[in-house]
Structure 1
Amino acid sequence: MPNPSTVPDRKVALAFMAHPDDAEISCGGTLVRLKEAGWEVHIATATSGDCGSMELKADEIAAIRVQEGTDAATLIGATYHTLGEPDGRVVYDRVSLQKTIDLFRQIAPTLVITMPMSDYHADHEVSGQLGRAASFVYAAPNASSLPVKPGSQVPYLYYTDGHDGQDRMGAAIRPTTYVDISNELETKTQMLACHKSQLEWLRSHNGIDEYLTAMRDHSIARGEDIHTKAAEAFVQHRGHGHPSSDLLSILFPVETSTHSTTSALQVTQ
C-alpha cells in the first residue's frame, strides 16, 4: 500500500506533452493506472498538431487532431487540453511559458509527466522545458492572474522515455522508474488508435509503417527490462524544490517475475 505520508492529498495528474498522441505513446498505460487508482487525470499538448498531415490544411488537421486527443482522453475518463502553439515551431518564451503556467494554475497538478529534454523532436524538448518551468512556479501567487487552488504545490515531476528509448543523439535513456502496464497495454493501444489521422503521416514523414505495432513493441521491450509483459519508463526530476521520493514506484510497485516487490527498479543516474 502507498505510504499515506508521501502520496499527496490532492490527487491530480497532468501529462504535458508536445503533440496529440505523445501521451498515448509514452505514458498512456500509466495514466490508465492513475485513473483507476482514483486520480483526476489531464492530458495537455503544447500544439494542436497542425503539421500532422501531407494533404490537409493546418486548421483542418488541427481540428481533427484535437478531436482525436479528446476521444483518447475520454476513453479513460481524462480531460484533454491544448495550448494551440504552432506544430514544429514550439519555442520557450514568455508567452508560451505564461500560457503553460496558466494551464497548470487551472489544473493544479500534484503529479506531472512531461517530455524528455533530449529527444529527436525539438518540440518535445521545448515542451519538456515548459513543463518543468511551469511545475516549479505555477503555485507561486504572483506567477499568474488566476487564483491559486487549495492544494497547489511543486509537483512530483517525471520525464517520459525518448523515442526507441534514446536521446537526441541516439544514446540510451537510463530510466529511474518503470511502471508495469501489462494489464493496461490493450487500453493504451485503444487510446493511440483514436489518432487515426497519424497512420499515413507517420508512415510518410517518420518512416513508421505501423504506429500501433511500434508503440506495443517498445512497451514490450521496456517490460523485458523488469521481467513483465509491458512497461513504461521514466526519468524522475529530483532537483532542488521538487519531491524526491519516487511517487510512481510507491503507487505502483513492480512485481518481478520472482514475485518479489520493489518500490523502484532504478538505475543510478
Structure 2
Amino acid sequence: MKVQNTYLIVLLFLFQVPVFAQREGAIEYEQEFIAGINFNTNAGLIGGITLRYTKLLFESKTQFHNFGLDLGIVKHPKELRYANQSGAGSFIAYKSHHLVVLRPTYGREFVLFHKGNEDGVQLDLIINGGLSFGILTPYYIQYQQPNSTVSESIPYSPDIPNFAITSIISSSGYLTGFGESKIVPGLHLKTGFSFEYGHFSNKVTGIEAGFLLEAFTQKMVMMEAPANDPGYFKNNQVFTSVYINIFYGGRK
C-alpha cells in the first residue's frame, strides 16, 4: 500500500508540470526512439524495460503512431523472502513460478503541449495496447529431505512429499527452470502521460506515468500453499498497476 501511495504522489506532482509547458514553435521532428527503465506497483525495485518508436501521422501536426515493446516483471503481492536457518541462502516461501511478461504494443500519441525549440517540457497523452505473453517459469529450490544430508534442486510444488519449509536451503536461481517455461497469452491496455524534457531538439529525456490493465487466458499461478498448510494465496487472471517509465532517446 505504501508503494502505491508513493506512485500516486509522484503522478499528482507530474500532472502539475504542464502548467509550465511551452506552446511556442512547431513540432520539428517526425520520428522518435526511446529506451527506458520501468517501475510499477506489481514488481519490486525495478519492474522491467521499455522501448518505444513513434512516427508522425500523415498530414498531422500533433498525432503519432506509437510502436513499443515492454518486458516486465510481475510479482505476487504476498511474496516474502526468508533466510535459511543457517543463513547460507534465501528463498520465497510457497512461490511456484516466476512471471515475466513480454508486451508488443501499438497505439497513438497525442501532443497536448509542445516545448520550445531548445528548452521546456512537452506533454503527450499515450494510449496503446496489444498482446501480452506471460512467461511462467518454475521456481526451483534447493531442498533437503527430512533425515537426509544431501540437498537437491527441485521445482517447488505443494505436492512435495512430507514438505517442510525448514527443509528449503535456498532458491536455485531464475535460469534453472527457464527451459520449462510456459507461455500464456493475454491482452493489455495502457494509458499514460509522457513528460519530455530536453535542451536540444534531437535528444529527449523524460518520464512516462500511467495505468496498465492486463488479462490472461488463465490464472497466473505464482504461489501455492500445501494442502496441510493454512496459508492461502489468490492467483489472478487480471492485473492492474500504476507505472512510471524513465526514458532517454533521440528524434529526427
What TM-score do you get using the length of structure 2 for normalisation? 0.22
Greater C-alpha radius of gyration: 2
Question: Structure 1 or 2: larger helix share?
Answer: 1
More strand by share: 2
